[in-house]
């Protein structure tokens, strides 16, 4: 049985957070209270999920890799309604399926989504291999903060390495909170470069 555990100031708050994450209506919910939050600790609940979506995703992925003669371990985490983060481990082939800059992974994600949607069109998969996407996201966040710090120290603009559109959005979101720098882009199409500059005034 799959489930989501969430915490909140009250049981109701914890449940609402879990319901939003799972995309489940209150009337459909099956949950248990792990901690009522009456002793100063956060309230905690466990919301049980429909196994069908998980089974479809796991079976599809294992069938695909099985045809390649590769055994995989599949970890599935709900993100929001019908959207799942899926991390796979291929025992020796991870780097091959990730590819340079994650290009093979992007193609694999597209293919797996097509296969999954044949069985249930509402499902959407955010596919990862050996946690590559999460590590890369953390790397970009840290790099953006480091560049911003250097820009503030020197008062000089600095350019970011070429990024994919989604990566550019991430960097912009991270640095939007820093009121001492601004981010703009130069170039067009595949040649877009982000520039981090000190904010004047």
pLDDT, tens only, 23-35: 888 877 778 888 8
* Band of residue 80 on the pLDDT scale cut at 50, 70, 90: low
Spatial contact of 60 and 115, defined as CB atoms under 8 Å apart: yes
Rg (CA), the chain: 21
Tell me: the pLDDT tens digits for 137-164? Answer: 999 999 999 999 999 999 999 999 888 8
Global pTM value: 0.72
Q: Which CATH architecture has domain 51-130?
A: 2-Layer Sandwich (3.30)
The answer as to CATH 3.30.1370.50 being correct for domain 134-198 is yes
Sorted by where each begins, the domain ranges of the chain are 3-48, 51-130, 134-198
- Average pLDDT for the chain: 90
- Structure-derived torsion over alpha carbons of residues 21, 22, 27, 29, reported in degrees to the nearest 10: -110
Cα(129)–Cα(108) distance, rounded to whole angstroms?
Answer: 10
Where does residue 45 rank: exposed (0-12), middle (13-18), buried (19+ CB within 10 A)?
buried
Provide the strand spans (E) within 9-72: 30-35, 43-48
Cα(98)–Cα(95) distance, rounded to whole angstroms?
Answer: 5
Instruction: Give me the residues paired with residue 197 across strands.
Output: 182
Query: Structure tokens of 192?
Result: 């877009």
The separation between CA 92 and the C-alpha centre of its own chain, rounded to angstroms, equals 23
Cα(59)–Cα(10) distance, rounded to whole angstroms?
Answer: 37
């Amino acid at each position: 049985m799959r489930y989501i555990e969430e915490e909140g100031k009250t049981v109701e708050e914890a449940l609402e957070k879990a319901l939003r994450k799972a995309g489940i209506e209150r009337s459909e919910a099956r949950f248990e209270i792990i901690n009522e939050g009456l002793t100063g600790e956060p309230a905690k609940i466990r919301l049980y999920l429909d196994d069908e979506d998980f089974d479809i995703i796991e079976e599809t992925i294992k069938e695909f890799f099985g045809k390649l003669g590769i055994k995989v371990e599949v970890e599935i985490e709900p993100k929001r309604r019908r959207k799942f983060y899926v991390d796979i481990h291929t025992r020796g082939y991870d780097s091959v399926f990730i590819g340079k800059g994650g290009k093979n992974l992007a193609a694999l994600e597209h293919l797996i989504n097509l296969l999954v949607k044949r069985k249930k069109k509402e499902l959407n998969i955010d596919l990862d291999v050996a946690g590559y996407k999460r590590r890369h996201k953390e790397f970009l966040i840290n790099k953006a903060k480091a560049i911003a710090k250097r820009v503030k120290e020197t008062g000089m603009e600095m350019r970011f390495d070429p990024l994919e559109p989604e990566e550019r959005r991430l960097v912009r979101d991270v640095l939007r909170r820093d009121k001492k720098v601004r981010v703009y882009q130069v170039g067009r199409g595949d040649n877009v470069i982000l520039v981090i500059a000190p904010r004047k005034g």
